[in-house]
Structures are given as C-alpha cells and as structure tokens.
C-alpha cells in the first residue's frame, strides 16, 4: 500500500513514525524547515513505547510522490483547503483519504439521511470547495486521540496512549475500512472501526470545545480547566450546551458529563493545541472547533450563550495579537 502523510506536525509525525517502524514505506508531504529536517534526520518520536527514530520519504511535491492508496491529511483546519489542493496529483479513483482534523468535518452532512443532507457547513466550507477537492467516495472519517507536542521540526513528544477511531461516512463497515484499521493497529496504535463515526466525532468535539478556546483566554492547562473551582462551572455550562447540540443531531455520546470532566482533569498539566498555536502566533482552529458547532446548534434551534461568549473572547485576543504582529512588522520595515 502506498501511504502518504500530508502534514508533518505533531500528529502527522507521530503517525508517520509509528507506520514507518512497521517496515512500510511512508511518504510525507512537508515543506520549509520541516522538509529539510525530515530529509536530513528523519522523524524522532518519544512516546510511551520509547524512542523512535525513523526515515521517511519526504517531499514538497505531490506529483513527485505520485498516486497513493491512502492519504492521511494531518493538518490544522485553517490550512485544510491548501493541503487538499496540494494532494490532487496523488488522488486516483480508489485512493482513500482520511482527514485527521479537529472539529466538525466539512463532509458532516454527506453520506447519511438528514433534513440537512448534502448541505455545506458554512463556517468551514461555504462554497463547497473542500467537497469538490475530495469527493465523498474517497473519504473515511477519523477521530484521533493523540496528545503530542512538536518540540522542533521532525521531533515530537507524546505522553499519553495513542487511539484512532475510523468509520465510513455512510456508516457502513467495509473491507477497506478494516484494511486501514489493521494497518494502524500494526503500527502499535489502538485502532477501532465504527459504524457511526459521527458519535465519535462529537465526543472529540466536546473535548476540544470545552477546553481549547477557554485555554487561550485563561492560559490554563487541561487539568486546571476541568478542576479549578473558578473555571469548572464555566466549562460545565459549555459542556451541557455542546451535549444538547450533539443530541439534536442524533449523536450519542457514551460518557456522562461528570465522567467527561474527570477525564479532562486526568489529562494532567497539558496545554491544549490551540493554546500552543496562540502562543506561537499561528492561526487557530476556531471555525471547525467552535463556530461550526454554534452553526449546527442554530440549525436545530439551540442557543449556546456561554460558548458564544468564550468564542468571542478568544476571537478578540486573536485579533489583538494579529494586530500587534502587523504593527511590529510595519515598524521593522
């Protein structure tokens, strides 16, 4: 199987390293300093199973890598359109594409019966561009529970177990789904196939939405967000709003609210990925993790006042940071 990891951030490097250790040739689509590091020194991953140092076939040219059987798109949501454009030379009729992206997926209303069937999520894909770039027949949905930090280009540290849940977007259990599950499992990553990937997506959305934006506002770790007496009531209100929105779209979340709060606390003194992006001055995944959920709540007549307020505060801080960066660049010119 020809496999490509499109995006060499923390999650992409983690998956590439574990897959490469199985003896599989792993292609990685990367650029800039990361591409230079991958070509010179490969990927270095430190996780619960030890130290992993692997070589991968890295390139910034999808045409050079050629057609692929499986593409794992491991990018932040703001870069998704650009990456999907880049992978076009690698797509062939049977290519499977697994977007490993936080938040509501652009394809959410594809492949299932719903009164919103085939509608676009305006906050993510208002013009249907993502749907045109990767049509539904290529897609396998995925939810990845991997907590990883990129310490340098091509170098990643992870201190929690790896879990990847996958499912066809039409909720069928297929041979290709099982083939990919076995591949991921062979890499030492717990891999599950599901006949309802949307339930799993909402579980991850709940975890992200109740922690990521508020972490930017407060600078708090996961443990603090879910346990500190000043923050816990706010997180719980956001949790209740998101659970209600998930239920209004037919999703079943297997964990009760108290268990979710305890699981969040148990993640320890870990910074969310959004807080890490904010501190680095990188674009935030507010559209997929936050605004898309509010949009889905509006579709079913649900209000999310606390979530809206936290998203507004996060947006304010982000815009202020961007304005300061622009002013600094102007002063340097």
Predicted confidence at residue 249, as pLDDT, reads 96
26-31 mean pLDDT: 96
273-294 mean pLDDT: 95
Q: Is residue 254 pLDDT above 80, yes or no?
A: yes
Predicted confidence at residue 160, as pLDDT, reads 83
| Mean pLDDT for all residues in the chain | 95
At residue 332 the predicted structure's pLDDT band, cuts being 50, 70 and 90, is confident
Predicted confidence at residue 95, as pLDDT, reads 98
Q: Is residue 147 pLDDT above 90, yes or no?
A: no
Q: Which two tokens stand for residue 318?
A: 């982000």
Lowest-pLDDT range, 68-82, 148-162, 295-309?
Answer: 148-162
144-153 mean pLDDT: 89
276-280 mean pLDDT: 93
Is the Cβ–Cβ distance between 73 and 140 less than 8 Å? no
Predicted confidence at residue 155, as pLDDT, reads 95
260-287 mean pLDDT: 93
Predicted confidence at residue 47, as pLDDT, reads 94
At residue 330 the predicted structure's pLDDT band, cuts being 50, 70 and 90, is confident
Is the Cβ–Cβ distance between 278 and 216 less than 8 Å? yes
Is the Cβ–Cβ distance between 60 and 52 less than 8 Å? no
pTM of the model: 0.92
- Dist. CA 250–CA 264, nearest whole Å: 24
241-264 mean pLDDT: 95
3-state DSSP of the chain: CCEEEECCCHHHHHHHHHHHCCCCCEEEECCHHHHHHHHHHCEEEEECCEEEEECCEEECCHHHHCCCCEEEECCCHHHHHHHHHHCHHHCCCCCEEEECCCCCCCCCCCCCCCCCCCCCCCCCCCCCHHHHHCCHHHEEEEEEECCEEEEECCEEEECCCCEEEEEECCCCCCHHHHHHHHHHHHCCCEEEECCCHHHHHHHHHHHHHCCHHHHHHHCCCHHHHHHCCCCHHHHHHHHHHHHHHHHHCCCCCCCCHHHHHHHHHHCCCCCCHHHHHHHHCCCCCHHHHHHHHHHHHHHCCCCCHHHHHHHHHHHHHHHHHHHHHHHHHHHHC
What digits encode the pLDDT tens for the residues 29-62?
Answer: 999 999 999 999 999 999 999 999 999 999 999 9
Domains and CATH numbers, the chain: 3-195 (3.40.50.720), 201-332 (1.10.1040.10)
Q: Does residue 76 have an active-site annotation?
A: no
- Dist. CA 3–CA 118, nearest whole Å: 29
Q: Is residue 281 pLDDT above 90, yes or no?
A: yes
Which percentage of the chain shows pLDDT scores above 90? 90
For the packed helices 305-332 and 232-248, what is the interaxial angle rounded to 10 degrees? Answer: 110
At residue 329 the predicted structure's pLDDT band, cuts being 50, 70 and 90, is confident
Question: How many CA atoms does the CB half-sphere of 202 hold within 13 Å?
Answer: 23
Q: Could you tell me which residues are beta bridge partners of residue 190? A: 163
At residue 180 the predicted structure's pLDDT band, cuts being 50, 70 and 90, is very high
Predicted confidence at residue 32, as pLDDT, reads 93
What digits encode the pLDDT tens for the residues 159-171?
Answer: 889 999 999 999 9
Q: Is residue 123 pLDDT above 90, yes or no?
A: yes
């Amino acid at each position: 199987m020809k496999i490509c990891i499109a995006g060499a951030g923390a999650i992409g490097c983690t998956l590439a390293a574990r897959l490469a250790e199985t003896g599989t040739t792993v292609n990685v689509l990367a650029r800039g300093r990361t591409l230079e590091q991958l070509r010179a020194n490969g990927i270095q991953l430190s996780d619960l199973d030890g130290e992993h140092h692997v070589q991968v076939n890295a390139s910034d040219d999808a045409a050079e890598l050629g057609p692929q059987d499986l593409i794992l798109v491991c990018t932040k949501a703001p870069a998704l359109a650009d990456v999907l454009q880049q992978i076009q030379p690698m797509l062939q009729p049977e290519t499977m594409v697994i977007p490993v992206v936080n938040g509501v997926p652009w394809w959410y209303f594809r492949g299932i019966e719903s009164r919103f069937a085939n509608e676009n999520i305006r906050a993510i894909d208002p013009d249907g561009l993502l749907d045109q770039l990767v049509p539904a027949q290529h897609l396998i949905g995925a939810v990845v529970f991997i907590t990883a930090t990129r310490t340098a280009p091509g170098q990643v540290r992870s201190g929690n177990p790896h879990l990847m849940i996958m499912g066809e977007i039409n909720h069928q259990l297929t041979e290709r789904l099982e083939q990919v599950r076995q591949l991921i499992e062979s890499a030492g990553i717990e891999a599950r196939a599901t006949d309802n990937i949307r339930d799993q997506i909402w579980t991850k959305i709940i975890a992200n939405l109740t922690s990521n934006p508020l972490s930017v506002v407060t600078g708090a770790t996961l443990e603090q967000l879910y346990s500190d007496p000043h923050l816990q009531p706010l997180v719980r209100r956001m949790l209740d709003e998101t659970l209600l929105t998930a239920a209004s779209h037919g999703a079943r979340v297997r964990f009760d609210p108290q268990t979710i709060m305890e699981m969040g606390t148990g993640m320890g003194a870990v910074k969310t990925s959004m807080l890490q992006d904010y501190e680095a001055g990188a674009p935030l995944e507010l559209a997929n993790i936050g605004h898309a959920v509010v949009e889905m709540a509006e579709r079913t007549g649900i209000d999310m006042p606390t979530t809206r307020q936290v998203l507004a505060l996060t947006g304010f801080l982000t815009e202020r940071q961007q304005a300061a960066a622009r002013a600094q660049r102007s002063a340097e010119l």
